[in-house]
Amino acid sequence: MSLYFFEPTLECARQLDQNDRLSRFRSEFYLPPTSIYMDGNSLGLLSKRAEKTLLESLDDWRELGIGGWSRGNHRWFYLSERLGEMSAPLVGAAPDEVIVTGSTTVNLHQLVATFYQPEGKRTRILADELTFPSDIYALQSQLRLHGYEPDTHLIQVRSRNGRFLEEEDIIAAMTDEIALVILPTVLYRSGQILDMERLTKEAHARGILIGFDGCHSIGAIPHSFSEWGVDFAYWCNYKYVNGGPGCVGGLYVNRKHFGRHPGLAGWFGSKKDKQFDMEHTLTPAETAGAYQIGTPHILSLAPLIGSLEIFAEAGIENIRRKSLHMTRYLMDLLEHELPNMGFVIGNPRDDRRRGGHISLEHEEAARICKSLKENGVIPDFRAPNMIRLAPIALYTSYAEIWKAVQTLKNIMEEKQYKKFKNEREVIA
């Protein structure tokens, strides 16, 4: 039964916090002492457990040297596989279908190099015009490596309104010239969730492989990649999963593709018992581990051990339920407190279609974000006119959401934002 209710008062916010079954995890995180953090969809906060497992790996290095690969608190040689098992519940996969390795773009290059096999008239890749730019850069690069011009061979589905994508438009673009489809699970600007199950079914009905970028959904919403038959997926772990800046990413490969030779081979993709035979013929792992390339970045992996322990205890379904309540509460407050101030809520209202953040559009968005930071609220700006606000289920309180909206209201009423230029910083 839902415990959500709404009144535009601090007392209501405090009551929601009292009813919150996940509130105990808030004390697990290092919260900024003088600000309200609403940017967890860009970089999650450090947890005490993540700090602990990082320090344990440093202890292993200090005490054991090279022995840390096979002994110590967290055996480095098997750490990527262990974290893959811990990540599997977040994506709805079997443990051996997930590996924690690389970065988002490196993993995309690996997967496209493996699964993009142009043949006959099937030579084009299908993406969309709203996806994160790094994905497009990688797809353009892969097409050029195959001798194709991106202008003709990268098909990008258009948005009807600049905010959302329609599944019908994506499906209509799945022609007999498409060899591969790459789409986001959640659009990074508007927070729209795509119907991954439907899109996978439609792609497969046309003989097309399909993969998803899960950067803006992993750790925020449940997935069922294996059940849906998704061919592959890739993501970062520094947003909702709270793995730390530059944290190692993750990838999923459906077991029906096990045995396929990785497009970009490296020695950490070897079967574990063969890796140190030092042969010049690769014997790939018989799991998603085959898609590793180089030696894992241990000190960027280690915080994930502690972070994923928290997710196992909290449960992704519980996290999603609270996230939906918090984003709904934030939207209700925004509409109640900020009428006729030029704001447009640019994310889906439907719970089934809304990811983990709210997209607030305003023509003065850049300078409003600067004013929010000055007043102790940390938002995220996306050009040209979007303020992204992400209440995080594991560590944001309803009272903080209420205070953030009151701060925004004061900024607008007093026109505090006007002292700033309406242009983004170097890092937005």
238 labelled as ligand-binding?
yes
Q: Is the pLDDT of residue 166 over 90?
A: yes
Q: pLDDT digit string (tens) for 47-87? A: 999 999 999 999 999 999 999 999 999 999 999 999 999 99
**pLDDT of residue 428 exceeding 90:** no
Mean pLDDT of the 243-252 span = 98
- What is the pLDDT, as a whole number, of residue 103? 98
Q: Please give the CATH architecture assigned to the domain spanning 10-30+316-419.
A: Alpha-Beta Complex (3.90)
Cα distances (angstroms) measured from residue 373 to each of 6, 12, 369: 27, 25, 6
CA distance 24 to 185: 29
Q: Please indicate if the annotation marks 114 as binding a ligand.
A: no
Q: Is the pLDDT of residue 2 over 80?
A: no
Q: Which part of the chain is CATH 3.90.1150.10?
A: 10-30+316-419
Over residues 282-288, mean pLDDT: 97
- How big is the chain, counted in residues? 428
Distance CA 96, CA 253 (A): 9
Q: For CA atoms 263, 95, 196, 20, give the dihedral sign.
A: negative
- How does residue 1 score in pLDDT terms, banded at 50, 70 and 90? very low
pLDDT digits (tens, 9 = 90+) for 360-399: 999 999 999 999 999 999 999 999 999 999 999 999 999 9
Mean pLDDT of 235-253: 98
3-state secondary structure at position 385: coil
pLDDT value of position 3 = 64
Q: What is d(CA 345, CA 20) in angstroms, rounded to the nearest whole number?
A: 25
- CATH 3.40.640.10 range(s) for the chain read 52-313
Q: 141 CB contacts (<8 Å, ≥6 apart)? A: 109
Mean pLDDT score, 32-46: 97
Backbone angles phi, psi at 37, to 5 degrees: -90, 115
Model confidence pLDDT, tens digit, residues 103-135: 999 999 999 999 999 999 999 999 999 999 999
Three-state DSSP class for residue 119: strand
Is 134 annotated in some ligand binding site?
Answer: yes
Mean of pLDDT values over 194-200: 98
Distances, alpha carbon 80 to alpha carbons 120, 213, 254, 285, 367, in Å: 38, 19, 17, 13, 42
Residue with tokens 């990540």: 87
Residue 69 labelled as part of a binding site: no
Mean model confidence pLDDT for the chain: 97
Mean pLDDT of 196-207: 98
| Residue 321, CA distances (Å) to 3, 152, 222 in order | 10, 42, 10
104 is in an annotated binding site: yes
Task: Give the tens place of pLDDT for each residue, 388-397.
Answer: 999 999 999 9
φ, ψ dihedrals at 136, nearest 5°: -65, -40
Average pLDDT over residues 18-26: 97
287 is in an annotated binding site: no
Per-residue pLDDT at 201: 98
Class of CATH domain 52-313: alpha beta
The span from the CA of 364 to the CA of 367, in Å, is: 6
Q: How many CA atoms lie within 13 A of 426 on its CB side?
A: 0
Instruction: Please indicate if the annotation marks 61 as binding a ligand.
Output: no
What distance in Å separates the CA atoms of residue 166 and residue 203, rounded to the nearest whole number? 15
Angle among Cα 4, 6, 7 to the nearest 5 degrees reads 150
- The residues, any chain, with a CB within 8 Å of residue 349's CB and separated by 6 or more, are 331
> How far is residue 393's CA from residue 330's CA, in Å, rounded to a whole number?
13
